[in-house]
Amino acid sequence: MLLMSVDTQSLSLLIFPSPILLQRAGEVDASDRNVQEVARRMIEMMFEQNGVGLAAPQVGLSWRLFVTRNPEDKESGVVWMNPTLEVTSTDDDIEEEGCLSLPEIRGDVRRPTGIQISGFDVNGDPAQESSDEFIARVWQHENDHLDGILIINKMSSMDRLINRQLIRNLERAV
């Protein structure tokens, strides 16, 4: 378990090729108050950036934690700490995805349509949900961040080619 005190107001969105975006994150203590405060701040940041999800590595923390918009109430967020995903359908779907850490880059990504997620909520309580709606894709996208996987690793070779110059520009901006 990762334990550390973080100043939530100092968090900022990281842009590719920041090394932390390419690393596997470690589990967090879901009952730790500072971790819960970070999760609440990440929800605010997700809304500020007009995103549908945000993973801890995107704000510089190598933690297994992400937040998403609440599918039942788009004005609120949901926290997933130490999430595990299980595929519940045999169907795949291809949809265009973007990423806050890869500005202007978009590409088609194939993902399973049905997912069951379990983990811990913002209060550190066990939580579980299943969906075959858009939120299942968001869970998978954000969970990929926890494993150091980005959409540029999952998009088609044609989409990588189309986005090649934008990716190079981000790499050169470092």
Output the DSSP codes for 100-129. Answer: TTEEEEEEEEEEES-EEEEEE-TTS-EEEE
Residues 6+ apart with CB under 8 A from 73: none
Q: Is 152:166 a contact under the CB 8 Å cutoff?
A: no
The residue length of the chain stands at 174
- As a dihedral over the C-alpha atoms of residue 65, residue 71, residue 76, residue 78, rounded to 10 degrees, the angle is -20
* Catalytic-labelled residue, pool 27, 44, 86, 142: 142
Annotation marks residue 37 as catalytic: no
The phi and psi torsions of 135 (rounded to 5 degrees) equal -60, -30
Give the burial class of 17: count Cβ atoms within 10 A of its Cβ; 0-12 exposed, 13-18 middle, 19 or more buried: middle
What is the distance in angstroms between the CA of the first residue and the CA of the last residue of the chain? 31
* Residues labelled catalytic: 142
